[in-house]
Amino acid sequence: MIRLHSIAGSRSFRVLWLLHELGEDPEVIRYGIINGSLHTEEFRAISPARRAPALEIDGRVLFESGAIVQYLCETRDGHGLMPALGDPERADWLMWLHYSETLACHIQNLNMQHLFLPDPSSRSVTVMGLETKRLAITLQGVEQALQGHDYLLPSGFSAVDIMMGFTLESASHYVRFDRFPKLSAYRDRIAARPAYRSAQDAEGPQEFYDRDFYEMPGE
Ligand SMILES: N[C@@H](CCC(=O)N[C@@H](CS)C(=O)NCC(=O)O)C(=O)O
């Protein structure tokens, strides 16, 4: 039995998509950010920071999307989604695994400011501006990395493209992608994968964003 504790449109999608790439179809338990469903004793026993994703697998519970992605790659065979120890691309794989989380943190801060603060007057235009710039700089790093190849690793698609994939979809609500031609083509390329699409169907509609793009207040 594989059971994924998930918020649609969140980092949980990384785990769901990877499981679909591996041919798994986990049970999905759905939560919401603002409906209180994360704040139960039952969920705290699964995820101490009350965050998604958490994954019940192999008789244990795992949290932290990057750790779950690495665990799945290390414990499942025959997928080619992680370079072996000693492979020269292994260090790059680890670097991009964690870089994806750097990106996700900027998005999380922007989500907080644009979407989740109950009182809009408590937003900080300074923080929103800084986080938008820092997100754009971080995306530019991915744009540069994609010069000359289609995926983050020159050898081809791997699980770090899955880690990155969810963040690109969310990032495009805050930073315009027309200045990132490589990144735009990469986003379309990875979103066309059958496992990406089947994971999206299994996840159901996201509840974060109600428009394509969020301008800075006053713009
Ligand atoms: N570093 C953690 C972050 C987990 C995280 O913050 N998840 C968000 C959804 S993307 C969440 O559960 N937020 C609920 C909250 O902040 O209350 C991971 O990669 O799993």
The token pair at 78 is 């025959």
Residue 186 burial (10 A CB sphere; 0-12, 13-18, 19+): buried
Q: Whose CA is nearest to atom 14 of ligand 1?
A: 51
pLDDT for residue 216: 85
Atom of ligand 1 nearest to the CA of 104: 10
Q: State the Cα–Cα distance between residues 18 and 57, nearest whole angstrom.
A: 14
Q: Whose CA is nearest to atom 18 of ligand 1?
A: 64
Atom of ligand 1 nearest to the CA of 11: 10
Domains and CATH numbers, the chain: 90-193 (1.20.1050.10)
**pLDDT tens digits along 127-142:** 999 999 999 999 999 9
Q: State the Cα–Cα distance between residues 139 and 141, nearest whole angstrom.
A: 5
What is the pTM for the complete model shown? Answer: 0.97
**pLDDT tens digits along 11-70:** 999 999 999 999 999 999 999 998 999 999 999 999 999 999 999 999 999 999 999 999
Q: Whose CA is nearest to atom 16 of ligand 1?
A: 51
Rounded average pLDDT over 75-97: 97
List of residues 6+ apart from 126 with CB closer than 8 A = none
Q: State the Cα–Cα distance between residues 57 and 59, nearest whole angstrom.
A: 5
> Strands, E, within the chain: which ranges?
3-7, 27-31, 54-57, 60-63
Classify strands 60-63 and 3-7 as parallel, antiparallel or unpaired. unpaired
Residue 141 CA, ligand 1 centroid: distance in Å: 23
The residues lining ligand 1, judged by C-beta closer than 6 Å to any ligand atom, are 7, 10-11, 33, 38, 51-53, 64-66, 101
